[in-house]
Amino acid sequence: MYGWRARIGLLVPCSNTTAEIEFARMAPEGVSVHTGRVWQEEPSDDAGKAEKLIAMSRRAPERARELAEVRPGVIVWACTSATFAAGPGSDVEIARAIEQASGVPAVITSTAVALALRALGVRRIGMATPYIEDIAQREKRFFEATVPGLSILAVHNLGLRENLPKGMLFPEATYQAARAVDTPDAEAIFVSCTNWRAIEIIEPLERDLGKPVITSNQASMWAALARLGIAGPRGYGRLFEQPLPTAQPAGVLV
């Protein structure tokens, strides 16, 4: 039987080609990952992107109800932008809706990133994203409002509106974008987006910069394993050495 230690239910946008692969690579022995997909409609222009992301998260609870049939110990809604686009606190509402629909504890990517920042004790960071400017600014406002004292000192965006091209980027692009937001005052680097291939650059980047690196999939897996009471893997950054900060069951930061 696969998943003899635990099963993780993983919800991803329908065009995400990265998250399930990175989750499978990070999964410790005996932990299986089972994926469901949420319909993502792409807008015709930049102005409609946030609305489409918010609508996608509204569809996640129904997909979570279906995913609960594999009896996972936790369900991860692995989309960063769809879980911050509606503003601070929206991640908690999404978690509650998923838990109510599925009866399974939920991990929300944007919540997991906020918890990761708290766990590492960092307050000044650089942030690299593949997003368009409006989405990146929403993200900046979300995290600065959610994590007490956080200041995002530098932001570098690739300007990609559609999701599928984000999954076609090579690790070199991720590495260079992350280095572009490394300022002398930055205590950590955050690479956003569950469809942006990033886990193999975490440890090289940490060695090169001398500071912790957080990615969306890494933080989501870290939070999921912590909720399951399973030690994290090695080789994917300093974050897996940290315990999960205290949080209420629905992911409320306290």
Residue at 248 is within a domain: no
Residue at 40 is within a domain: yes
Please state the pTM of the whole predicted model. Answer: 0.94
Cα separations in angstroms, 89 against 83, 159, 252: 9, 25, 9
pLDDT given at position 43: 81
Residue at 146 is within a domain: yes
pLDDT given at position 47: 76
Average pLDDT, the chain: 94
Q: Are residues 122 and 200 located together in one domain of the fold?
A: yes
What residues make up the domain containing 181? 112-215
Please determine, for residue 1, whether its predicted confidence score (pLDDT) is greater than 60: yes
Counting every residue, how long is the chain?
A: 254
Tokens at 60, concatenated: 């996640």
Q: Are residues 50 and 96 located together in one domain of the fold?
A: yes
pLDDT given at position 246: 72
Which amino acid belongs to residue 128?
A
Residue at 165 is within a domain: yes
Cβ atoms of 83 and 108 within 8 Å: the answer is yes
Q: Are residues 206 and 118 located together in one domain of the fold?
A: yes
Please determine, for residue 191, whether its predicted confidence score (pLDDT) is greater than 80: yes
The confidence band for 21, taking pLDDT boundaries of 50, 70 and 90, is very high
CATH number at residue 237: 3.40.50.12500
In tens, the pLDDT along 200-231 reads 999 999 999 999 999 999 999 999 999 999 99
The confidence band for 254, taking pLDDT boundaries of 50, 70 and 90, is very low
The confidence band for 7, taking pLDDT boundaries of 50, 70 and 90, is very high
Average confidence (pLDDT) over 48-58 = 94
Closest by alpha carbon to 244, among 142, 103, 97, 113? 113
Residue at 181 is within a domain: yes
Q: Are residues 42 and 162 located together in one domain of the fold?
A: no
In tens, the pLDDT along 65-95 reads 999 999 999 999 999 999 999 999 999 999 9
Average confidence (pLDDT) over 123-129 = 98
Q: Are residues 31 and 98 located together in one domain of the fold?
A: yes
